[in-house]
Amino acid sequence: MEILTAVHTDTGLKKQTNQDSICLKVADTSIGKVVLAIICDGMGGLSKGEVASSNVIEAFSDWFEQELPFQLAQENWSEIQYRWDRIIKEQNHRIATYGRNTSSQLGTTLTAMLIVDSDYMLVAHVGDTRLYRLDSGIHQLTEDQTLVAKEVRLGRLTTEEAKTDPRRHVLLQCIGASKRVEADFIQGKAKIGEVYLLCSDGFRHKVTEEEIYTAFLPGTSQNEMEMEKQAKRLVELNKERQETDNISVVIVKIQ
């Protein structure tokens, strides 16, 4: 199995700092390629969001370097999910404590994906960053943990109404600003021919799913340079359409 990756992030049109944080690690191991891809969106309306997002990224990066090799040797997949859950809860406590000590509010979303060759895939999700799978179509794998998404699921709002609802940025939970955080987990296996796309919400407001799918069509012979070029093109398209948030995307192509 070959795995191609690309990443691009941009501060955007209006914000002074980029509160999005990204982790992308690729390793060759005795059991095949291993990829860790993460996007964290520091809370745009809260102070020091970049502190929260970068701290979560650092915790997962340390886990990848220090703990994952032992877990891979044992092929102990349940232990990996357990450790991810502990990391998320530990970071929630740590960031909240930092906020209290500095009299500031801060928090971050999280969408993380681990691929262990064709053997195992794990996704962890908190907030409204997203993971898509592209194959014969485009599929949103994560479920937005927002107030309006919940209203849509309950049938109290339509999808179109949700796009302009004034409450559309209200999160049900995030790391660092919630008393308790319960991440959504997805387990599975990555397959040849699939493309995975992680993005902050700033990446998807002004472009359509069809435009995303067309840019990264599975089955095309894109190399990493071409994938990055398409990522940059879509980021610039968001800005042309006046997206004001930070904009970040990670693409992982299985072939």
pLDDT at 44: 57
Tens of pLDDT along 196-219?
Answer: 999 999 999 999 999 999 999 888
Instruction: Tell me if the pTM is above 0.85.
Output: yes
Full residue range of the structural domain in which residue 232 is found: 206-240
Q: Are residues 220 and 122 in the same domain?
A: no
Share of the chain above pLDDT 90, in %: 82
pLDDT at 89: 98
Domain of 86, CATH number, reads 3.60.40.10
DSSP state for residue 251 in the 8-state scheme? E
Distance separating alpha carbons of residues 171 and 146, to the nearest angstrom: 4
- Reported confidence tier of residue 220, pLDDT bands at 50, 70, 90: confident
Q: Report the candidate in 108, 89, 128 with the shortest Cα–Cα distance to residue 40.
A: 108
Region of 103 please: left (phi>0), alpha (psi -120 to 50) or beta: left
**Quick one: average pLDDT of 235-240?**
97
Tens of pLDDT along 153-207?
Answer: 999 988 888 888 888 889 999 999 999 999 999 999 999 999 999 999 999 999 9
* Beta-carbon-side half-sphere exposure of residue 63 (alpha carbons within 13 Å): 26
Domain count, the chain: 2
Buried b (16+ CB within 10 A) or exposed e, 76-105: ebeebbebbeebbeebbebbbebbeeeeeb
Q: Are residues 74 and 188 in the same domain?
A: yes
pLDDT at 45: 61
For residue 6, what are the β-bridge partners? 251
Alpha-carbon distances, residue 179 vs 90, 100, 147, 149, 171 (angstroms): 12, 13, 17, 21, 13
Q: Are residues 125 and 227 in the same domain?
A: no
